[in-house]
Structure formats: structure tokens, C-alpha cells
Amino acid sequence: MCGILAVFGCIDNSQAKRSRIIELSRRLRHRGPDWSGLHCHENCYLAHQRLAIVDPASGDQPLYNEDKTVIVTVNGEIYNHKQLREQLKSHQFRTGSDCEVIAHLYEEHGEEFVDMLDGMFSFVLLDTKDNSYIAARDAIGITPLYMGWGLDGSIWFASEMKALSDDCERFISFPPGHIYSSKQGGLRRWYNPPWFLEQTPSSSYDPIVLRKAFEKAVFKRLMTDVPFGVLLSGGLDSSLVAAVTCRYLAESEAACQWGSQLHTFCIGLESSPDLKAAREVADYLGTRHHEFHFIVQEGIDALEEVIYHIETYDVTTIRASTPMFLMSRKIKSLGVKMVLSGEGSDEIFGGYLYFHKAPNKEEFHQETCQKIKALHLYDCLRANKSTSAWGVEARVPFLDKEFINTAMSIDPEWKMIRPDLGRIEKWVLRNAFDDVQKPYLPKHILYRQKEQFSDGVGYSWIDGLKDHANKQVTDAMLTHASFIYPENTPTTKEAYYYRTIFEKFFPKNAARSTVPGGPSVACSTAKAVEWDAAWSKNPDPSGRAALGIHSAAYEEAVAAKNKSSLSGSPKKLQGVGEKAAAVV
């Protein structure tokens, strides 16, 4: 990941202002420690901190068109840049950077080219011919972007809030799938897939189509000129990413630049569930596995730095970000600059606990849509900023545009959790990779129950955080929390503690408004309670109190599966591919 900062319409264009822009851009250097760049044009500034993944030798930014009248600063990866270059043969490219196509696409298509990009990105582009500019963010919000306004009438864009929070009176999280145009004077949505309207789809489920779509999503994310690996927790999602990557490395000569043995990484407390599960998957796949340990106190000691980097006070995000932050530092120390990760699957396939209570397929689908739309505020933010804090780039194949469109077009009846049919959560994904002839993963791993949120790194992690917060926040402080924090008032001591740290770094109203409102409940908010009133009694955002619901449903599904197996012949699915047609 790189760090970008752009400012337009400054009244002051003195040397002092240039120095200030450099100083603010330097706050993003952790995102791009490899090189810095700055382009100034009249009252406009485009700054860049580079993490070199593709074309490390010549891809420094900002990037330009042929006559340097178009300047662009980009944070991200454009996976289809080679195909786009074929469409731009009349243009002369200066670098091998995947991001340079943006400048030339703008010349050819104007502002309407963004949907042609396949990748994760946030970029700002200046056209000096008329001093117009645009800014855009990828479809789901995998890469972060903030937009701010100064008292002098200037408009700011930055990868992280810390680069503009001091100099802007107001700022917001730039919405995913949107473009800002100075010519048209505002934000507009460029990403408009069918699922976005939340209408229930009716396409039949074909496991082979789903499998191939995911494999393609993983393959394209192996575009790199630097060492890479996979974050492997041992759960379904990360294990599938690792399994598909291993197959690609074994079959593709071009992918073997860094050796045919995949590097995998996992972190946890001593004897944590994730460490055990990840080691089992790594042994099966034959990866070069790296296992990192931490203790609760080390995580607590890192909290202030974590909150500074991830820029949120959301409880579940902080809990999960801290181990990821610690692991990223270790990964960087090994010389690895890019990793693949499994974020997004639970949102697409309804993998969270409360989806067991979905009353019908319509509500199930609508909730998955809502979860995907909010990913930029939670899991995308965590994955990107936790790794970028140490100059590591995280790529997320489950959030590939084409894969999401494929998965979200499936009739949600197939995604519903049906213990009576042996279908546990995310069954359509598990079934798609249940290949008897050439297994991707052993059955017991492919159908392993999802670990509770934040518990996988070690069951004492959340308890340790709560105990620490209880010592820092008194009963009186929590009682009067609504007077101190009237907006998004914390309801637990842990939430109060994180809020105090956040406010120390980001004291403006605009900063606290970038964090989602209301109590942080990882299992969603009102929808979980609407489906089952018992969820309202769960004060912990990890959903731990509902573990019994989850375990009971899982055991019922396993029993149904075993009963089906003992009956002599497996039930057949209607409208699915032949290779994965048996109910498991």
C-alpha cells in the first residue's frame, strides 16, 4: 500500500506551504517507505509515499501522461493493467507501473473510465489543461481515502485521516465506489452492480462457476515483483486462499520467481486455536509456515499505536487489528511486502452467527448486501491499516468485483443455513471446493466450524483486554460517559478506554464521526436483534453469548450429514455442477 495526499485550491502557495505538505505527507510514510514524490502546480499539490510492489525500479509516483499535463497519485493495484495497455497502444508509457494506465485512460475516456479498472485503488488526478481534478475509490473500499475541506476553501484528499485532520475544518471517509469531480462539483457513484439495490437474485447455484471465479480472483492478485505470502488462520477462508495459491505456484512458471513453496503466516497466544488450525493446513498444503506468538501484555502495550494507525474506536476492529498489527511487523522483518488475506467471505455468504436466525432468503440477502457495503468501515479498514502500518500490502481475493457479482447473483436460498439438509454456514463456498478427485483441503478442515470473532488468536485475548480496561475506567466514568462523549457514547469500559485513546490523537468532531455510530456489535446491529430478541442481551460485540446457538446448529448439521451418508447414497442437488453435486 502507498500513501497519497492531494490538496487543491490553496490560497498560500509559498515555500512554507510546500514544506507543510511534505510534513503532512511524511505522516503516511509507514504506508510507503520506499520513495517519496511531490508535484506542485500553481495552487495544487499531489504527494506520494511509495510501497513498491510492481515495477520497483521505475514506478515512482506521481505518474504522468506523455506531456505531463495529467498527473496522478495512486494507492493500490490495477490487476488488469496489461489488458488495458493493449487498448492504449497509441500512448507512450514511461514506466512499468500498473497504475500508469489511469493517466492514459483519462485522456481517452474522460472521467468515465473508472469502471474499467479491476483492482483496489484510491487515486487523485489533476488535469493541468483546465486545472480540473477527480478523486475516486475502489468498489468496496479496500484501500482507504479521506476527503476534507480547509477554511481557505481548499479541498484535501489523503489515504489516512492523520494527514489532513489538523489542517481541515471538516473531513469525511470518502465513500467506496464513488468519484469526486471538480467539474461536476460533487460525489457520484460509479459502481452500480445488480446486488447493490438488494433485490433478491434468482440465479441457480453452480459450484464449479463459483470455484473458478474465486480461483481467478486469487490468481490475478499474485501480480507482484516482490516476495509475498498468505495470512493463514486455519479457518475456511484463509485456507482456501492458501490452497488456491499453492496450486497456482505449482502450475505456473511465471509465479515461481520467489520459489514454488508458498510462505504462510499466523499469530496467536500460546496454544491458541488459530495456531493449531493453521499449522494443520500448512502441513497439508506443504507451505513454509511462520508461526508468531504474542502475550496479552504485548497486545495491550501496542493499543495506542494500533488505534493511531487504524483510526477507529470500534471495539471489534481494535481487538482484531492488534494481533494483525503485531504479525505485520514480523512479516516485514522477513522481507515480505505483500500478503493475501481472507476478508469479505463472511459478509458475502452470511457466515456470522446471527445468520442462523435469518427468517427467509430475502432478509438473508439484504443483510449480506448491507454487510458488504459497510466493509470499508470495519474489516477492510483493519486489514489495510494494520498491515500498512509496517509497509506491508494486503490483498483480498474474496472482494474481487467479478467474484462478488458471481456470488451475489446466487439465489440466497442456497446460502441459508439449513441443518436439516446438512448445510452449515457458507455451505455454498465449502461445497464448491469439495473436490473428491483432487481435494483442495481435507474434509474436516473444509467443514470446520467458524471460530468466534477475535477468539481465534487465543481465548484469553478478549478477557485480557476487558480486564485492562476495567482497571483504567471507573464506574463513575462510564456512568457519565454520555456527557463526555455525547456522540456514539461508549456503553462498556472497554469501548470507553479505546475512545479516550482515539480522542487523544483525533480530537475533532469530524474525526469521531468517521467511525460508525451506536454500540459496536460485530454480529450486526438492529438486524440481529430483529431476528432473535435474545441477541439484545449480549453486551459483548464478539457474539460470544450466542455460542450455544452456533454450536447446536453445527452439531445438528453434522448429524444430518452423517445420517445422509449412512442412508446408502448421497442426495443430489438440483441445478449444480456435476463434480460437486453430493450433499455433504
Q: Exposed, middle or buried, 339 (CB in 10 Å: 0-12/13-18/19+)?
A: buried
Tell whether residue 225 is among the known ligand binding residues.
Answer: no
Asked whether 364 and 417 are in contact (CB, 8 A), the reply is no
Tell whether residue 421 is among the known ligand binding residues.
Answer: no
d(CA 47, CA 526): 41
**Whose CA is closest to 423, among 447, 445, 407, 406?**
447
Residue 369 appears among annotated catalytic residues: no
Tell whether residue 328 is among the known ligand binding residues.
Answer: no
Catalytic residue among 2, 10, 266, 369: 2
Q: What are phi and psi of 548, to 5 degrees?
A: -60, -40
Q: How many residues does the chain have?
A: 584
d(CA 442, CA 237): 14
Query: CA 520 → CA 131, 319, 452, 462, 489, distances in Å?
Result: 42, 12, 16, 15, 10
Tell whether residue 98 is among the known ligand binding residues.
Answer: yes
Residue 194: which H helix or E strand, with range? none
- Rounded to a whole number of angstroms, the CA Rg of the chain reads 24
Tell whether residue 342 is among the known ligand binding residues.
Answer: yes
The three three-digit cell numbers of residue 110, written as one number = 474522460
For residues 370, 372, 374 and 378, what is the CA-based torsion angle, rounded to 10 degrees? 140
Q: Tally DSSP H helices, then E strands, for the chain.
A: 22, 17
Per-residue burial over 27-51, b if 16 or more Cβ lie within 10 Å, else e, is bbebbbbbebbbbbeebbbbbbbbb
The three three-digit cell numbers of residue 95, written as one number = 514506466
Residues near 125 by beta carbon (within 8 Å), at least 6 away in sequence: 70, 71, 72, 102, 103, 106, 133, 134, 135
The three three-digit cell numbers of residue 208, written as one number = 464449479
The three three-digit cell numbers of residue 479, written as one number = 456512568
As annotated, the binding site for ATP includes 231, 267, 341-342
Q: Which residues are catalytic?
A: 2
As annotated, the binding site includes 98, 231, 267, 341-342
As annotated, the binding site for L-glutamine includes 98
